[in-house]
A and B are shown apart, each in its own frame.
Chain A
Amino acid sequence: MFDILSLLDITFFLLAALGALVGIIFGAIPGMTATMAVAVCLPLTYALGLNHGLALLLGLYVGGISGGMVPAVLLNIPGTPSSITTTFDGYPMAQKGEGERALRVSVVASVVGGLISAAILFLFAPLLAEFSIKFSYVEKFLIILLALTVIASMSRNMLVGIFSGVLGIWLSLIGTYSISDGGNGKTRLMFDFLEPYLFEGFSLLPVLIGIFGIATILLEAEEGVKSGLAGKNITFGKGGGFSFTIFKGRLTNLVRSSFIGTFVGMLPGVGGSAASVLAYTQEKNLSRDSSEMGKGAPQGLMASESANNALTGGALIPLLSLGIPGDSTTAVLIGAFTLQGIQVGPLFIPENADTWYVMMTALVFANIVMFFLMFYAIKHIAKVVLVPKYILYPIIVMMCVVGAYAINYGIMFDVWTLLIFGVLGYLIQKVGLEVAPLIIGFILGGQAEVYFVKSLESAGSYAIFFTKSPIAVVLWLLIAASVAFSVMMGLKSRARRRLETSS
């Protein structure tokens, strides 16, 4: 045990803290992600050595995931894909002048999610890895399907919402239908001349910042230049109306969402964005007072942010106990081990106990640093909405363009994607379609198809979806409950509207 203490020097903690800070900045810039932050700093691990390198990278990971909340809340642009559900309630709150409060709620939820998942990782990693391999194609498909049911419950008009979601799924299928995914290796859903550009389909991040960021700016631009502020009446000082009592009665939500985040994180191949979407769905379905969700309810932020930070611990579970990364960031992180010639696999933890403890220390420390950095910096960060729009928006557009160009190491078409989806996002709102279901369809559509096709390919019959395992049955029950709930809510609100119109 004392060996480990000797590995933890001042530099170690400074690097973890620096990582968290830089990560937050990366996460907060639309178009820059935690994955990019880790990828950029990966070669540094050569010079730093394994332990110091891991401190830096884990700091970046935690910071990067957390930073995404800032533009999500203040500007309606998810800084990272997994903060998409943060925009649903965060931005309405910011518009009501509660940006600072929304950010504080998110920071607290983030640190809770991060620490809960770190604890789960520390205590149950090998056990959970054992459980995670029970999830084959069928169960993974059902998880995605469950996350997709959020489309029904979050749309204002169910039919329009579902149509938007289907449109999103359709967009996600553009590109090559890879043979490894059960396809024929040919491009589809495009004209021949687009092949060189759309070979790999539209990239997620440019689509996301286009449809949220650029479209929002276009809508604002339509209003003309006014010297108004982005957020109108913001309450500053005294925590912007924030107090910890807001979390009263929300413990279940926080813990549930953290568990969901950890759980989705540990399933390899189920993307990180599914975590916050799933946690958001469950809060919407299970909470007694979910009618305000989507209009600026702090509980939505808690679900979203605790789940996306809980991803960190979750995604490290299969990485450290199977050698399989749980999400895109840990897929880069694994490079730190290979560059140092360390194998990760089922025997990593028993054979590298020192590294394991070092990583846990870095992870917990990075979460704490992230909390203090953000919690106390929020009053300054929230002032971004005080910058006049005609100055703020051009800067955001510039950052979006740079981010989109950089995301796949310099592909110009990604910038065009940003513009196309910016205009598309603007148009679909004009014709009355809904953005959130569309984007959720886009994020989850590709995975849903792969796992659906692979399930059929390996079993050869539709029955497999119901008979595969007890886990599958449980997932079906959850899906049924989620759909039934959405229908019920839909009927209720229709009745209410009828009542209003008749009275």
Chain B
Amino acid sequence: MSMPSIYKTLGTSVLMAGMAFGSAAAMAADGPLRGNVRVVIGSTSTGGDTYQNSSIVADALAEHLDINMKVDAVGASSAFRFLDRDPRGNTLMIFHDQSYLGYLYGVEGYEDIFEKYTIGPTVAINPGNAYLVPKDSPYQTLNDVIEAVGNGEEVRVAIQPGGVSEIGFSALKNAIAIEHPGMEDNLVAVNTGSQADKNQQLFDDQADLINGTVQANEQYTRLPEDDQKAMRFLWLTARQDTIEQAPEEGLGQTSREQLLEYVEPNVNVTMGDDNFTFDKEFFFLYNKDMDQAIVDQIDQALSEIYAEGEIQETQKNSFFIPNFKPSDEAVEYLETKMSVYEDIIANIQ
């Protein structure tokens, strides 16, 4: 058999199998959401937390509703565009706080999600957003950093600008502006991209502090101090309450107890009256014209799934903190959250 005919045969059989499978599934579901549903996510990485968490949620939903769901890591700008095009409800989106932080930071391709889309339920928190220093750094605590900057020392922070990675930096800058007015410009952002780039900045001594995650950097914190790659956590942006819900064994060899050392009240980043915290939260986004019945159906299905309790275990095993809020609660909650960060960003500009 020559190559093209092999392709043809293969192609036809795949197509036929797909059609048969697809139609069977479409018959099975009886709610407004049926057939094949595509879940696009705002990240292009299949190794990241968005993909991982979205897979957990999509699998549970697909099983519960007896439909097909597939998570596609298309990236933010494509995901928004796919969502714009499909009011039928066959395309849903899962993303996190980046969706509105990108807008607050004025990144191109981001618009006000509360105006343009329908906000769906929140599903989980990734408590791992962290700031790290080299293991042999003179800064023992985040307060050391704040004091050093306040005394006129320049501290360079490697972040990915325009979102989740920057918000902690902005808050830190804001805190310095409050405690040591006029000195905040000594906290300098070193703009980079991926986690690999941020780590590299630390190895090259081009940054004193980097944004990272518990998941990606925990092993680095266990290297011996004389290793060029060794790091130390200074700060986790999550609320104390969030970390307390993590499994007791923590992640890798770092226990929950140890992680709690890096959140408030041990680490404080002031916003004036309150302390700044940031939980990276995952939630659904829908096309504005999508049928309300589908919104309700997903809310309903998720509350049943969370009532069963199995998904919480899966999430916790992957170091996510379950945090289900149905759509109407989620909108209000996220809008409040956005306004807090809007103030911080406005303050330091």
Contacts and interface: CB of A to CB of B under 8 A. Distances in A.
Interface of A: 25, 28-29, 39, 42-43, 46, 70, 130, 133, 136, 176, 178-182, 185-187, 196, 199-200, 268-269, 318, 322-325, 331-335, 337-339, 341, 343, 345-348, 380-381, 383-384, 386-387, 391-392, 395, 399, 408-411, 454, 458
A180 B193 contact: yes
Contact of B190 (A70, A409, A458): A458
11 contacts: A39-B73, A46-B59, A182-B191, A187-B108, A199-B77, A199-B109, A332-B47, A345-B219, A347-B222, A381-B3, A408-B74
Given A136-B200, A335-B47, A345-B216, A180 B3 contact: no
A28 B3 contact: yes
Contacts of B197: 180, 269
Contact of A133 (B200, B215, B319): B200
Contacts of B199: 322, 324
Nearest to B40: A409
B307 interface: no
- 5 nearest CB pairs, A to B: A345-B219, A334-B47, A335-B46, A180-B193, A384-B3
B195 interface: yes
Contacts of B195: 324
Interface in B175-212: 190-197, 199-201, 203-204, 206
B280 to A, nearest CB: 15
B70 to A, nearest CB: 8
B23 interface: no
B36 interface: no
A109 to B, nearest CB: 21
Contacts of B162: 179-180, 185
A32 B108 CA distance: 30
A386 B46 contact: no
B239 interface: no
B1 A380 contact: yes
A348 B253 CA distance: 12
A381 B196 CA distance: 41
A136 B204 contact: yes
A29, A176, A324, A409: which has the most chain B beta carbons within 10 Å? A409
A39 B251 CA distance: 26
Contacts of B192: 180, 454
Contacts of A333: 47
B108 A386 contact: no
Contacts of A46: 55, 59
Interface string B220-245: 10110001110000000000000000
B52 A399 contact: no
B45 interface: yes
B340 interface: no
A343 B47 contact: no
Contacts of A386: 2
A502 B81 CA distance: 63
Contacts of B160: 180
Contacts of B10: 25
Given A182-B191, A199-B77, A324-B195, 16 more contacts: A43-B71, A70-B3, A185-B162, A187-B108, A200-B78, A332-B46, A334-B47, A338-B49, A338-B215, A339-B55, A343-B215, A345-B219, A345-B220, A348-B219, A411-B78, A458-B190
Contact of A29 (B7, B191, B193): B7
Interface in B274-324: 317-319
A174 to B, nearest CB: 15
A389 to B, nearest CB: 12
Contact of B55 (A43, A391, A408): A43
Contacts of A29: 7
Contacts of B252: 343, 347
A25 B255 CA distance: 46
Given A176-B108, A335-B46, A268 B191 contact: no
